[in-house]
Structure formats: structure tokens, C-alpha cells
Amino acid sequence: MTPANLAATVLSAARAVFETRGLDVSALPESTAVERPRNPEHGDYASTLALQLGKKAGVAPRELAAALAEELSSQPGIKSVEIAGPGFLNIRLDAAAAGVLARDIVLAGAEYGHSGTLTGEKINLEFVSANPTGPVHIGGVRWAAVGDALSRLLRAAGAEVGTEYYFNDAGSQIDRFAKSLYASAKGEPAPEDGYGGAYIAEIATAVVAEAPDVLQLDEAEALETFRRVGVDLMFAEIKQSLTEFGVHFDTYFNEKDLHNRGELQEALDRLREQGHIFEADGATWLRTTEFGDDKDRVLRKSDGDWTYFAADCAYYLDKRKRGFDRVVIMLGADHHGYIGRMKAMAACFGDDPDTNLEILIGQLVNLVRDGEPVRMSKRAGTVVTLEDFVDALGVDATRYALARYSSDSPINLDIAVWTRASNDNPVYYVQYCGARTSNVAKQAAEAGVTRGEVADFHPELLSHEKENELLKALGEYPDVVARAAQLREPHHVARYLEELAGAYHRFYDKCRVKPQGDEPITETHRARLWLNDATRQVIVNGLGLLGVSAPERM
């Protein structure tokens, strides 16, 4: 029995009590929750439903708890219900009801943990979106790991998700990039506001190889060639780096397309229809202050050029036209000021900014060696890149480490810790647990222990204290996934996996799956194999949501 199943049973019992006593059933919530008590001696699960409903029902909470306890005690799978304090319910399951979860997990396989909590939501999730003027840097690496994990979580919760990478391939930063490539190809230093690093020389050389006569062209034509070819090369390199990191986007969207297709003018026209456009000082403005922004925003400057914010408006409108009812954008810490203007922009289009637009801000991350931040890439010159991360930690450790912490908290990742083959390395600890479950299953098979037929499984035999602890941990997984998706916080999954690994190791120390010596194979060994394999499945599923492998051997 999972916590969700038990919570539904508690709510059903409450309905029966209300109907028997003639109480108003409309006071009942649509759902409730049960929790694991901090002290296992208090029971397997606890409910505060009687405390929540007592006042609404006009019944003393402890009296209501007594009625609920009596009703629950008659339900299959519930061993006992005790009342504590002012009306807490402490619930104990019988071994069979608890143990059947092992079978259910094995049979569900990769689907265990999936839910329909977000079914019906069509979400556009944009993350990384680094300018194509250099490799993916340290901030983008965090969003690559967290964003990809979040997309997997949202899909596991039933949402329809489209992942998107936005290339800012129009504007002044691309001009500076082209000038930097041109200068490098001529053997000159980068412009004062240009880009440096070995990658600039590499791409400049590649442009010359693709267009051998580029340096013979006049400057304007040469710069256009370096712009066009250089951006394509940088774009391809970024996509390759992300692919090698295990991150794949459904859509790569170019800002330039918004300009070429006239979508900026379309967005302006739509905003004008909504009555939020005004002209001043020769420029065209959006009156965002009506919706809480600190100042109104220019969409088109007096010289006729579009602003970056105009492209933001057009891009948001494009996503909504493609049928996404929620636009989620993941931005770095330096973009916190964007939230007000973007929310106001959504309101100007007539949308509900709290429903249709969601902006997540990620804080800084440092890669640390010997207590000192790793500040410089050998290739990029001024930043730490995705390749630097992977070279230092590996793909699995990088992804797990970056997804393990709340994205709104700054973090320092110590290379020594995250590359160590020991239990103080969280990803090693979890992966080792997964590998141990595989090894236990292999040794059990060699000893002749198999799970047998489903009908022959005896869940009531899983009655040991450590078996019960492990089953309770396994039962929490679906709620963890649903909560992580709802809160947009993949780190809940990582922390859960570490707790699960601890519960499994304690089970491993006390409960043998493989017979010892001449001990005969019993149904208890078979039941424990189901529990072992269920743990393996949840480890695989959880690590999969984080984009991390679950090796069978380590």
C-alpha cells in the first residue's frame, strides 16, 4: 500500500463517518495526505485529518479521531490505528498490505512513479539559451542539468512538454562575435568589447577553411561571412556539447526567424490592439507599469531598430500561438530584473501572468579544487564551460551534483568529493546501491533463488523491521516525483534516492536474499528478492529522471 492509497482510504473512512453521523460531507477535502512519523514507534503513517475537520464538522477533533480510528480499523490491510494528542491518527499496516508494494513496483517497471497530476497541461520549457558567441558556460551547465531533469519530471507527472533552446542570433553581441573572429583570422587582437579565448581562434580558422577567400573580401562582406558561418559553427558545437551531456531539445529556435517572419511587428500590433502601446520621444513604448513593472519599456527605438524586449514579446507570443498554455523560462541570477517586465508583458497580451508565464531563477555555481574556485577555462579563457565540468567530474556526477541542490541556492562543487569512490560522494552512494541490488539478484540466481510466479509471492513474509522501513521508503517515491514536478524542484528526487539507498543498505545488512551455507531456499528468500528488485527499479527510475545512469556493476 502506497501513501497515496492509504490517504485515499483515510478520506473514504472520513466520508463514511460523516455520512453515518449526518455531518456535512461538503466539508471534506478533495484529497488528504499521510506522513511517516519521525519516530517509527508511533506507527507506519500518521494523519491529521481529524484535526483539520473537527472545527468544520462541529465535533471535537479527538472524538472525530476515535470514529475515524474505528472505521479505519475495519479496512483491509490496516493492522491498527491509535489516537495521539489532540487527535492525531497513528496507523500501522499489516505485513501483507505493506509487502504487496514490492510486487506492484516490479510489475509497473519504468512506469512506477508516474502520475496524472499534471495531465492536460501543455508546457513550453525553455532553458540554457546561451548566446551563440561561445561555449556553454558554468551557469548554462546548471540549467542544462536542472532543466532536462525538470522536463523528465513534468512528463512523468503527465504534462505535455516541449523543450526549447532560444538562440539570440540577432543583435549587437553577434556583431561583436563576428568582429572578434575577423580580427583573429587577420592575426589581430580582439576588439575592446569583443570575445577572447582559444575557441575564437579555432572557429576563425574553421571559417577560413570553409570560405578560403573570406579575407580577400571587403570588410562588410567578410564580417557577414564570419557572422553567418561562425554562428553556425558555434551553434553546432553547442548542440554537440549538450548532446554529449545527454540533453536533447525538441526545438532550437532562432531569434533571427522572429525578425525574418515579421513576428515582432505582429506582436506590436497585438499589443496595440490591447491598448497598451504609446508613442513618446519618437519611440514606441509598452505601458508595462500598468501591470506592476517599475518602468515602461521601449519596443522600437526612435531610429527604427527593435529592442531585445520586443523580441522577448514576439517570442512569448509565438509560444502561445503554438498552443502552449504555460511558458516556463529558466534564467540565470543576473536576470532577476526580467521577472517584473516579463510578467507585465504577459498581462499586456491579455494573459494571466501567474498561470501562463513562469520564470525560474538559478543562482551561481562554482567548481572548486583544493578549496579554491576553478575560475578559468583553458579554452574559453574567462569562464568555466560544460566541457570543463565533464572533464573534471564526468557526465553522471555533474548532472547529479547540479540537480541535487535547489536551483535558487548558490553552490560550490568540490571536485575531490564528486570524483571520490566513497559513500560521501552522493552520486556514488546512490549508484553503488543500484549496483548492489543487481549483484544481490545475480548471486541469488546463482544460488537458485528466483521470484517465481506472481501468484506465488507472499508479501506477508516481509515483516522484518528493516523490510518495513524499506517498503515505506519505496512507497514514498510517487509522491516525491509528483511534488518535485509541481514545485519545479528536481533536487527532491536526488535527496530521496539518498534516503532510499540508506534504507536499502540497512535492509541488506539484516535480511539475506541468498541462503547462507546449507540453508534451504524459502519463500522468504523469494519475497526478499521481489523487494530487492523493486528497490533496483526505483533507483533506475529515479536516476533516469535526473538523466543519470544506474550501472549494474561498479
The highest-confidence range among 64-78, 88-102, 486-500, by mean pLDDT, is 486-500
Taking Cα atoms as reference points, which of 286, 257, 292 lies closest to residue 271?
A: 286
Beta bridge pairs of residue 329: 126, 359
Look at residue 383 and tell me whether its pLDDT is greater than 80.
Answer: no
Query: Identity (one letter) of the amino acid at 504?
Result: Y
- pTM for the whole thing? 0.90
Question: Where residue 380 falls among pLDDT bands split at 50, 70, 90?
Answer: low
Query: How many residues would you count in the chain?
Result: 554
pLDDT score of 375:
74
Half-sphere exposure of 164 (CA within 13 A, CB side): 22
Taking Cα atoms as reference points, which of 148, 218, 142, 226 lies closest to residue 183?
A: 226
Angle, alpha carbons 160-161-162 (nearest 5°)? 135
pLDDT score of 335:
83
Measured CA to CA, the distance from residue 513 to residue 200 in angstroms comes to: 58
Question: Where residue 116 falls among pLDDT bands split at 50, 70, 90?
Answer: very high
| Residue 169 cell numbers, joined | 542570433
Look at residue 290 and tell me whether its pLDDT is greater than 80.
Answer: yes
Dump pLDDT digits (tens) for 216-251: 999 999 999 999 999 999 999 999 999 999 999 999
Angle at which helix 465-475 crosses helix 477-487, to 10 degrees, equals: 30
Question: Where residue 170 falls among pLDDT bands split at 50, 70, 90?
Answer: confident
What order do you get walking across the sheet with 357-362 strand by strand? 251-254, 160-167, 122-126, 326-332, 357-362
Measured CA to CA, the distance from residue 429 to residue 269 in angstroms comes to: 56
What is the share, in percent, of the chain residues with pLDDT greater than 70? 99
Beta bridge pairs of residue 92: 80
- Tell me the average pLDDT across 336-365: 95
| Residue 510 cell numbers, joined | 539484516
Dihedral sign, Cα of residue 8, residue 10, residue 16, residue 21: negative
Half-sphere exposure of 193 (CA within 13 A, CB side): 5
- Which helix (DSSP H) or strand (DSSP E) does residue 541 occupy? helix 523-545
Dump pLDDT digits (tens) for 458-480: 999 999 999 999 999 999 999 99
pLDDT score of 438:
98
Look at residue 173 and tell me whether its pLDDT is greater than 80.
Answer: yes
| Residue 216 cell numbers, joined | 580577400
pLDDT score of 378:
61
Backbone φ, ψ for residue 464 (5° rounding): -70, 150
Look at residue 379 and tell me whether its pLDDT is greater than 70.
Answer: no
Question: Where residue 374 falls among pLDDT bands split at 50, 70, 90?
Answer: confident
Query: Strand 365-369 to strand 411-414: parallel, antiparallel, or no bridges (unpaired)?
Result: parallel
Dump pLDDT digits (tens) for 415-448: 999 999 999 999 999 999 999 999 999 999 999 9
Dump pLDDT digits (tens) for 47-80: 999 999 988 888 899 999 999 999 999 888 898 9
**Cβ(445)–Cβ(84) below 8 Å:** no
Measured CA to CA, the distance from residue 182 to residue 269 in angstroms comes to: 38
| Residue 80 cell numbers, joined | 491498527
Residue partners of 109: CB distance under 8 A and separation at least 6: 537
Taking Cα atoms as reference points, which of 150, 161, 25, 76 lies closest to residue 460?
A: 76
Look at residue 523 and tell me whether its pLDDT is greater than 90.
Answer: yes
* Ordered DSSP codes for 313-366: HHHHHHHHHTT-SEEEEEEEGGGTTHHHHHHHHHHHTT--HHHHEEEEEE--EE
What order do you get walking across the sheet with 283-286 strand by strand? 277-280, 283-286, 297-300
Place of cell 529522471: 545
**Cβ(1)–Cβ(475) below 8 Å:** yes
**Cβ(439)–Cβ(508) below 8 Å:** no
pLDDT score of 376:
62
pLDDT score of 35:
87
Residue partners of 125: CB distance under 8 A and separation at least 6: 147, 150, 151, 154, 161, 162, 163, 164, 328, 330
Residue 347 burial (C-beta neighbours within 10 Å; 0-12, 13-18, 19+):
buried
Beta bridge pairs of residue 151: none
Look at residue 121 and tell me whether its pLDDT is greater than 90.
Answer: yes
- Tell me the average pLDDT across 271-293: 97
Look at residue 502 and tell me whether its pLDDT is greater than 80.
Answer: yes
- Tell me the average pLDDT across 183-204: 91
Measured CA to CA, the distance from residue 196 to residue 174 in angstroms comes to: 14
Neighbours of 193 (CB within 10 A): 11
Place of cell 519475497: 527
**Cβ(325)–Cβ(354) below 8 Å:** no
Taking Cα atoms as reference points, which of 227, 206, 234 lies closest to residue 131?
A: 234
pLDDT score of 94:
86
| Residue 155 cell numbers, joined | 512528463
> Which residue intervals of 22-133 are DSSP H helices?
49-57, 61-73, 95-108
- Tell me the average pLDDT across 495-508: 98
pLDDT score of 95:
85
Taking Cα atoms as reference points, which of 482, 454, 457, 462 lies closest to residue 93?
A: 462
3-class DSSP assignment, residue 123: strand
